[in-house]
Structure 1
Amino acid sequence: MQKVSATLHRRFPALRDRIEEITHEALYRTLQTWMSGRMPASRNPLPYMQTTARNLALEAVRSKEHPVDDQGLALLLDEFHRYSNEGLTPLDPLHEIVAPAVAEMKQTQRKMVARHQLQGIDEDTIAATLQVPRQQVRSLASKAARELRDMAEVKPHVRPGHLRKQRRGEEDSGE
């Protein structure tokens, strides 16, 4: 470990705070390799450990991330507490996405079914109000949902598994 640490100190002076950590990681990986049987027991593990340590040091130098010191961590915690105490309200998809989209739909039975469902009215009541069979309400609700999912302002909020797949023969919109 001393030889590997000394080599790293000479070659990577900017990493002096992390050299002990890198050396320990190199030792651990060398031991894992030796225990797994990928390195013969008669082979000297020092060259392998030095190469591993050099690769880890190069990765640490090239990495854009640096370990956070205590002062930086304290600043991050203060900022986190400030934002968490502001009480930001989350997005309400029903009122901020779906309701405006339903309002933009053409005036059809489909829109009426969607609007009633937004209000929490059950299928039987909707069927009685529109004077149509319950099964037709289900069909209209399904078509309304499909229409809503295809709307540009709603589409980014729809899970990929629920987006409509293109059928064969349909032209791609080029987007």
Structure 2
Amino acid sequence: MFTENYPTWLRLVAATVQRRFPTLRDWAQDIAQEALCRTLEVWMRDKWPSSRHPLPYMRTVAHHLACDAVGTKEHPTEQSDLASLVEQSRRTRHEALTPLDPLNDIVRPAVSGMKDTQRKVVAQAQAEGADEDTIAASLQVPRQQVRSLASKAARELRDMAEVKAHVRPGHLRKQRRGEEDTGE
């Protein structure tokens, strides 16, 4: 069904796109082609019954693609513009950025900048991979106190400017009015 009818369907869908979206006149054929490819993919995957005609679905897909194209501020890039963009990116990308190692590049320097308190000791031990029981034994404090110190150390670290830039907004704590840090 697709092989014998697709040229007619492309023409009909492209004409519909041109009529409904005059600003996309230059891209109507491309939108129709993309709609045909997506329709064929769904048709083959879902094994639609032969009584169901694919043209209405193809028109709906084309309409959605056209709405997306109109809704964006950018228009599809022409082939000639694409070549110049690729060449420009090759000239400007002369150095590769290496990704940050969160532990070595963010956490350890921030922990070293903390005041000398039990919080700092707990944070350093956790950065080295020690568990709560080991830290509690070395500090000779209960395990629950280590948890509390670790929580306060984490809050202090998140509030540091050099760490705050790397913390997701949802993980930043909003302070309540009148709340102050009481220390240890």
Residues 67 and 122 of structure 1, relative CA distance in 2, 3 Å threshold = same
Partner of 1:3: 12
1:59 aligns with 2:68: yes
Q: Distance in 1 between matches of 2:63 and 2:98?
A: 48
Contact 2:13–2:32 under 8 Å retained in 1:
yes
Q: Which consecutive segments of 4 or more residues in structure 1 shift more than 6 A?
A: none
Aligned residue for 2:90, secondary structure, equals helix
* Structure 1 residue 160, shift from structure 2 partner: 8.9
1:68 aligns with 2:80: no
Question: What is the aligned length?
Answer: 158
Contact 1:149–1:158 under 8 Å retained in 2:
no
**Cα deviations by residue, 1:15-54 (Å, 9 ceiling, x for unpaired):** 23422232234445666479535xx82x776566545534
Q: Distance in 2 between matches of 1:89 and 1:7?
A: 49
Aligned residue for 1:16, secondary structure, equals helix
5+ residue gaps, structure 2: 1-8, 178-184
Residue number among 20, 23, 35 corresponding to 2:29 in the alignment: 20
1:173 aligns with 2:173: no
Residues 112 and 8 of structure 1, relative CA distance in 2, 3 Å threshold = closer
Partner of 2:182: none
**Worse overlay, 140-149 or 62-71:** 140-149
Partner of 1:168: none
1:146 aligns with 2:166: no
Superposition RMSD on alpha carbons, in Å?
A: 4.7
Residues 52 and 145 of structure 1, relative CA distance in 2, 3 Å threshold = same
Aligned residue for 1:106, secondary structure, equals coil
* Structure 1 residue 150, shift from structure 2 partner: 0.6
Q: Distance in 1 between matches of 2:142 and 2:80?
A: 59
* Structure 1 residue 72, shift from structure 2 partner: 3.3
